[in-house]
Amino acid sequence: MAWSSHGFRGGDGNIFQSPTNFCEANGTVTHGTEAAAGLQIARGVIYSVHAQDLLQSIAAFNSTQTNQLNVFHAAMFNLIREASNFRAAMPEMNGPDSACERYSNHVGAHLIGLLSIARLLDDDNGRRFNAALYGDDRAIPLAIPWTAYFDHAVYGEHDRPIACHKNKGPDALTSHPFFQTNVVAPGEILDRYRDLNTGQMFGYTMMVLGDLYDMAEIMRNSGFDAYAYRGAHQQSIEMSTQYYACYGKGAGFGKVVTPENSRSCPDYQQYVGQIVNGLGTVILLGAYQFPKNPTITGVDPGAREDARREVLDAIRFGRWRD
């Protein structure tokens, strides 16, 4: 309620509607600040959406308060959308050596924020929801809707890596802060190239895959089955979960990938030296959603132990087989 009456406002009292309204701590406006605005707000807004949805369901608000919150979240929808479009148009997202940034975890965060707000407001026959899902509404343009993001965020059959930052070494042990092999396996997540430290490569890929599960749960409430969805190259959430389950079986949850323990995993060279972190909660969700997939369910026991160290968000909480 405080955010809806005071937050994200300029000197004129109006809620910000552009990423250019945001600045660094010293007051300067940079492309980095503008590009990050959508990410930061979208990652947080899902929790204010949850709060409103929960409290509204028990009639905790009067009509004036509900309208105030709706106006705020509608403004956040527009702000995130504008920020996402701004970022997608930046030269840094479209260069020959950085096109991978265009479809990174930033966009996944944008979309989970947009889809959650769209479901909360649920107006105009789901117009905001469809705009975020398909991007075909000229009145609510979105440069990278969910369908376009999915086709790039998850590699499918016969795919090649998207142009990305140049390697600085021959392998993941020596190439920092980025590394990627010149091949991809079906199911790999685009954000695999982050290699500043031993926790990033799995940390970011599992963040993206976890967000895809969260978005799938949101979309299920609107009648769209993201779990059954197949991308342009047959990629799916199940395919991606199955791919990374191999490292839960080989290296083990929370352990370091080596050639000896993960040679059976396609393109294991990408992840040598990396810690298999963040995988536990994803496998729990996968075993719940795809109970007939033995590769995923086979590592469910290890995932349960690993997930004890994780904080489950409000969407994922309770979604495991028993």
Q: Tell me the three-class secondary structure of the chain, residue by residue.
A: CHHHHHCCECCCCCECCCHHHCCCCCCCCCHHHHHHHHHHHHHHHHHHHHHHHHHHHCCCCCHHHHHHHHHHHHHHHHHHHHHHHHHHHCHHHCCCCCHHHHHCHHHHHHHHHHHHHHHHHCCCCCHHHHHHHHCCCCCCCCCCCHHHHHHHHECCCCCCCCCCCCCCCCCCCCCCCECCCCCCCCCCEHHHHECCCCCHHHHHHHHHHHHHHHHHHHHHCCCCCCCCCCCCCCCCHHHHHHHHHHHHHCCCCCCECCHHHHCCCCCHHHHCCCECCCHHHHHHHHHHHCCCCHHHHCCHHHHHHHHCCCCCCCCCCCCCCC
pLDDT of residue 22: 87
Q: What's residue 307's pLDDT?
A: 82
d(CA 125, CA 170): 52
Report how far residue 56's alpha carbon sits from residue 208's, in angstroms, rounded to the nearest whole number: 29
Give the separation between CA 82 and CA 53, rounded to whole angstroms.
24
88-92, 162-166, 210-214: least confidently modelled range: 88-92
Choice between 181 and 28, residue whose per-residue pLDDT is larger: 181
135-187 pLDDT, tens digit per residue, is: 999 999 999 999 999 999 999 999 999 999 999 999 999 999 999 999 999 99
Q: Is the pLDDT of residue 309 over 80?
A: no
pLDDT for 285 equals 93
Kindly report which listed range (20-24, 210-214, 266-270, 318-322) carries the lowest average pLDDT score: 318-322
Range in 21-35, 65-79, 168-182 with the lowest mean pLDDT:
21-35
Q: pTM for the full model?
A: 0.93
Q: What is the mean pLDDT of the chain?
A: 93
Reply yes or no on whether the pLDDT at 234 is more than 90: yes
Mean pLDDT of 80-87: 94
pLDDT band, residue 288 (cuts 50/70/90): very high
Distance CA 15, CA 4 (A): 9
Residue 71 clears pLDDT 80, i.e. is over it: yes
